[in-house]
Structure 1
Amino acid sequence: MLPICVVNNYGQFNHLIHRALRDLDIDVMLIPNTTPKEEVAAAYRGIILGGGPAIERAGVCAEYLDLGLPVLGICLGLHIIASKFGGGVHPGKSGGYGSVEVTIRDHDDILAGYPEKIPVWASHADEVCRVPDGFTLLASSGICGIEAVACPEKRVYGLQWHPEVSHTVDGKRVYENFDAICRE
């Protein structure tokens, strides 16, 4: 079976995403965000778009969304998804990293098994302000109305928060759910 790739967008937690999947015995590779889309299509069964400092440094990540592979966007990865599919992204009012209580509104396959509310670790320096057409709002918080979105038909999912850090309760479940989606 092909591995999942974690696309490094220069964020401080991309190596933790890679490590979290390895710790779950999920075959994974960390790749630069300049990897040609043809190489990604041929070598991986799913894509995780990692976080990073700015969408201007996201390389060719938007092209990966045209491959038909399952995609999970984390933080900046969510912003890439929203921008590509016609949603909106703007500077957040809360700024840097911190604890947030998220309300799960739709226990879609990526959020299957979670309770209604979970404490997570997130940055809100930028955030999605408009859900793209064809996507469903999965989660929100008092800080940000759009914490998670999904388009199950495309198998594209995005989270504002970081499941890979210890401050996020049961973050590994997101990666297990994504692995299951990539096996379908």
Structure 2
Amino acid sequence: MTTIAVVDNHGQFTHLEQRALRDLGVDCTLVDNETPPEDVEADGIVLSGGPDMDRIGQSPKYLEDGRPVLGICLGMQLMAVELGGEVGSGDYGGYADVTVDVLEEDDPLVGSLAPETRVWASHADEVKTLPEGFTCTASSDVCGVEAMSDTDRDLYGVQWHPEVAHTEEGEEVFGNFLEICLASAEATH
């Protein structure tokens, strides 16, 4: 069975990320973000959302160990910052229902949602400059980088929260990430 660990960055929806994966039949554990990656047995990692960059613990180390990573909201932002991109304040601010345009139909994480999808997202902070190796895979009229992917390293991020009911195709995002983890596990065994 595929195992995915959700690294808890103290986000208000983190438990819903774990539940969404369990509902897909995934063995999913919730891990405190002070836990080092080498202590976590999992085929893939979800870096949860959270309130601020000062409380991300060991999360950046999960980007270096070769397992597929999905960053959600703050998880995507810390991925961008740690790998050389830039994050700044969004023009829009708090949570809102947003229509996202999928830009890369062949992207393994969000391509199946093309041409667009409705999501629930906070735009208090957002990725302003992509890190090297990443492609912007989705955008909206309130945020230029709603999703990003580095398929060579299996690093993926979404600004929105796929785990909440307001996001129309959130389960599909988690299902696509599961497929990425399965393919990666097969390639390494």
The one-letter code of the counterpart of 2:172 is R
TM-score by length of 1: 0.97
1:110 paired with 2:125, answer no
Q: Name 1:6's counterpart in structure 2.
A: 6
> 2:29: which partner in 1?
29
Aligned-residue offset at 1:169: 0.7
Distance 1:36 1:145 in 2: 32
After TM superposition, the structure 1 = structure 2 runs for residues 1-150 of structure 1, keeping only pairs within 5 Å, are 1-40=1-40, 43-107=41-105, 108-150=107-149
Rounded to whole Å, the distance in 1 between the matches of 2:169 and 2:25 is 16
What are structure 1's unaligned runs of at least 5 residues?
Answer: none
Q: Which amino acid is 2:86 matched to?
A: G
d(CA) in 2 for partners of 1:160, 1:112: 15
- 8 A Cα contact 1:137 1:150, kept in partner: yes
Indicate the residue corresponding to 1:175 in structure 2.
174
- Specify the SS of the correspondent of 1:109: coil
Distance 1:112 1:27 in 2: 25
Q: How many pairs align?
A: 182
Deviations 1:19-76 (A, max 9, x none): 1111111110011000012112xx1110000000001100010011000000000000
Q: 2:102·2:111 contact (CA, 8 Å) conserved in 1?
A: no
After TM superposition, the score normalised by the length of structure 2 is 0.94
Matches of 1:35 and 1:137, distance apart in 2: 30
